[in-house]
Amino acid sequence: MTILVFGKTGQVARELAGHAGVTCLDRAAANLAESGACAAAIRVAQPDAVINAAAYTAVDRAEEDEVLATAINGTAPGEMARECAALGISFVSISTDYVFSGAGETAWKPEDTTGPLGAYGRSKRTGEQAISAAGGPSAILRSSWVVSAHGSNFVKTMLRLGAERDRLSIVADQIGGPTPARDIAAACLEMAGQLGDDPGKAGLYHFAGHPDASWADFAREIFAQAGISCAVEDIPSSAYPTPARRPLNSRLDCSSLAATFGISRPDWKTGLRDILNDLGETR
């Protein structure tokens, strides 16, 4: 099976790159902000499936750059989906918990009403709507709190700050599922294969690490596994203001993914151990 991946340097794309039959495209090969570039790349490659692992992920910067964020996260995935539908090939695109308002404490189901708090979430919701409208064997995979040994993410930030300081104040009222990029990549590959065999599995799904935790809880586990003596003080989001509002409730109900594709929520503590091993940061 040949798979064309949009994205090359991002966390999930880096994990996809090592698999047989996978070709990853960087911005030079397919500029997602350029109309027609994605469809042209798909027509040239003629793959068996396409995975969109590229995105505008600068959540705060998107507040002032929503046009570009929407072009990359909204317009481009829709173009990919339409081309895949025309060719009759499976398409999997990664979305985010930021499409929800973060209200309440109940895990969000795929069919729940969206209500993004900022530009990034709105741009991703636009992409979801465009993919759904395209039809074809397409699946949207919403995930949350992505981490890996690659790029910039919470794990690497905590390792750096924890080594420099004796105490850190970390937000404790945002709750979600830390999700290793390696597990997201594996889920996308499995979904692409199954969609090729059964287009009826197209739809919207959730995937996040288990168990749900706060950022403060996550930080404590990082320090414990890495053997870093840094105390964590729980603080509310109001004590750490950012240009873009973050959802307080990022819990995702992943039951439909398990029922349809047989993909269960990964244990993020085990995934964290693998990441720290890759970084040479375990005790």
Which residues are catalytically annotated?
A: 120
**Are residues 229 and 84 in contact, defined by beta-carbon separation less than 8 angstroms?**
no
Angle between helices 268-279 and 154-164 (to 10 degrees): 60
Query: What DSSP state is assigned to residue 99?
Result: G
Cβ-count burial of 133 within 10 angstroms (0-12 exposed, 13-18 middle, 19+ buried)? exposed
> What CA–CA distance (Å, rounded) separates 197 from 48?
11
The H or E element containing residue 87 is helix 76-87
> What CA–CA distance (Å, rounded) separates 129 from 189?
22
Q: What residues form DSSP beta bridges with 170?
A: 234
* R_g (Cα) of the chain, nearest Å: 18
